[in-house]
Structure 1
Amino acid sequence: MSVDVFQLTIHYLELDEQQAPQIRERQALIPTSAEVCHLLEQLHLSYNAKPAKGYARFSTEKPQVFHDSMTLWLEQPDDFLLLAKSATAELVQQLSQHQLAESGYLLLSHYRYLATDYLLLCLLGSKEHFSVTAELDLAAAKHLDIARMQLAARIDLTEYQLNPQHPHAISFIRGRAGRKVADFFLDFLGCEEGSDAKENSKQVLSSVEEYLSAANFDAEEKHQARQQVYEYCEAQSKQGQDVVLKELSESMDPSDQHGFLHYCAEQQLAVAEQFPVDVKSLKNLVKFSGAGAGVSVSFEQKHLGERVVYDPQQDTLTIRGVPPNLKDQLQRFLSS
């Protein structure tokens, strides 16, 4: 098991008749067990996989209710329940102020994953499932809906304690309501936005393409370099780790591991030494896709100019070797 759980508690938020959140608090920490560690590992991986996360740092221009409670807890680690109680009360207040009608199980945990300590706060819904007993009777029960985690924030305590003003030691899921959820989390945590993963990704895309154009690579070498960059960034994202420019350079060109690193420095490209990325925004490194007016097209970048030919003058896309399943559908439709 790669997760060590130090402290965990769960409170329940329910909505009253006026749709205002009410708290039902747990009075003791949940004992650590193999099941608890497995739960936190699932939550950690699910959180990492969420796209379009926001990144932030604490701001002195906002109320520091959560920050002050966390600071007190870091000084007195046995007072985790006090931190949980304070965070829950602040969460309820901010939910009301931002008019977000949310209910569910509020989980707070201090855990370690691969030598990094985290503080996780997430609001989880529940989902009913059914099973069959040994007597072949139906039984119903509820389980935490981890896959649909929408309200969650995580603090990299290891990074934060080294540098409290690190621009992406704090992250949060932007959620289905976009800007509204981002504003809610920034106010709840007392933060201001720091590093922008999407902007970082755009800068990586443009810098990689600029480097590949300047380097003496053939078409296959360019494809391999783009693939290596994408796979490295994807692996870092899945682990919840930042992209490191030096490692990115090494993965791009094994024959000249510092080539991209030196190019960024020489050309003064705005690529940070370490930054989070949005993997979805990097898809263009390896794939072209688009949809509109009832047509959806997607293909790997390596096929452009070979199996797929684009004529900008005629605004046409020619595909050689239609995928078998699409070809079968077309033939059956035409024959009918």
Structure 2
Amino acid sequence: MPILNATVHRIQKMGDAPARLEPAQAPLPQTDILDALLEGLNKAYHAKSKAWGHFSDTEAGAEEASEGSEPVSPLPGELADYLAERRDFLALTRGIAERLTALLDAHLSVSGDLIVLDTRFGDGRFLTLALLHHREGFAVDEHLAVIPARQLNLAQMSLAARIDLTQWQAGHSRQYLSWTRDRGGKALAEGFAALLGAVEGVDASGETRTLLRAFSDFVEKEDLPEEASREKTDALIGYASDQASRGEPITLEELSEVLDEQQPKAFFEHIRNADYGLSPEIPPDRKTLSQFRRFTGRSGGVSISFDSHLLGSSIEYDDAADRLIIKQVPKQLKDQIKGKN
């Protein structure tokens, strides 16, 4: 992933003293170490719980909206100037760092380094920013002596965001912007979103749950054998997890092809005909995916298969009595039982 520009600004916060910005004086030189840091940063970011959305539709670049309303983030306007080469990278990132310093002063009591990178990957261009903290570690010097070493702690990423600049400029997407929202409480999360000028455009966990429900309905409708059902479940989770690892959305048409090469449109048509209200592209939610699997079993002429999220709701297991209780019997099965009687 070629790095077009990169810089680090330091934000110092000591006790009750006001947070202080130590701005970078020049962009970082492009080195192998910086490339490795970017790779680690991307992996850590993709593993985080995130919100997905877009810039506010309010006119970008204004310092304030109409009287009495919330201030408008200048970031979209500054980004537009940077991409049009009317603003240099150092000025762009210093503006972000100054506003972040004020936010940290109000909500956090820790120092950190703000790293900002402008990168290109394939046909896409991205701006990534992350506030990183340090941890004390150890190293071995050239004399084979153990020495203390301060390291950037990628796992402790307080605030971070990623903007798909290509999608933003194209104007066709409402989920080109993602940002972390799992640390520091509601006020900090809302303040960070306001700093970015971000509006949540899609509920990643909700969309992922709806997708999994659509898949469960599809498997039930197709009345697939146990092995085929398990294979399709593994294919779905594998594809969705790979997309999450790359920070890319689940594309419904692509997923449909992954699930069945012989009938590549079958799952996509099922979703469209049943009108689940899903977007063509869904940002995958790792936590929701990790909780999804199918329970299957066969014994004495009885074959049972159901999704794990149904356990405790429409399906209950009584361990003491060794009973499985199905509260909502599938209509097709019910009709067969009634017809038999």
TM-score (norm: length of structure 2): 0.81
Cα deviation 1:220-265 (Å, max 9, x = unaligned) = 2111111111111001111111100001111122331111111112
Cα deviation 1:183-227 (Å, max 9, x = unaligned) = 122111112111110011111111111111111311221111111
Distance 1:146 1:77, change over 3 A: farther
Alignment RMSD (CA, Å): 2.6
SS in 2 for 1:232: helix
Aligned to 2:6: 8
Aligned to 1:72: 81
Unaligned runs of 5+ in 1: 288-300, 320-336
Cα deviation 1:93-120 (Å, max 9, x = unaligned) = 23345x2334211111101234421101
Contact 1:94 1:187 in 2 (8 A): no
Residue identity in the other structure for 1:125: H
Aligned to 2:28: 30
SS in 2 for 1:125: strand
Residue 232 of structure 2 corresponds to residue 225 of structure 1 = yes
**Superposition pairs for residues 187-336 of structure 1, below 5 Å?**
187-286=194-293, 301-302=295-296, 312=316, 314=318, 316=320
User: 1:20 & 1:82 partners in 2: Cα distance?
Assistant: 23
Aligned to 2:158: 150
Unaligned runs of 5+ in 2: 59-64, 66-70, 324-341
Residue identity in the other structure for 1:56: G
Aligned residues: 301
User: 2:245 & 2:298 partners in 1: Cα distance?
Assistant: 29
My pick for the range that moved more, 73-82 or 177-186, is 177-186
Residue identity in the other structure for 1:44: N
TM-score (norm: length of structure 1): 0.82
SS in 1 for 2:54: strand
SS in 1 for 2:2: strand
User: 2:33 & 2:166 partners in 1: Cα distance?
Assistant: 25
Q: CA deviation at 1:314?
A: 3.8
Query: Which of these residues, 163, 173, 176, is aligned with residue 180 of structure 2?
Result: 173
SS in 1 for 2:27: coil
Contact 2:93 2:116 in 1 (8 A): yes
Cα deviation 1:158-183 (Å, max 9, x = unaligned) = 111111x7321110111223533431
Residue identity in the other structure for 2:154: I
Distance 1:56 1:146, change over 3 A: same
Q: CA deviation at 1:268?
A: 1.6
Residue identity in the other structure for 1:86: G
User: 1:70 & 1:4 partners in 2: Cα distance?
Assistant: 19
User: 2:73 & 2:316 partners in 1: Cα distance?
Assistant: 55
**Superposition pairs for residues 76-87 of structure 1, below 5 Å?**
76=85, 79-87=88-96
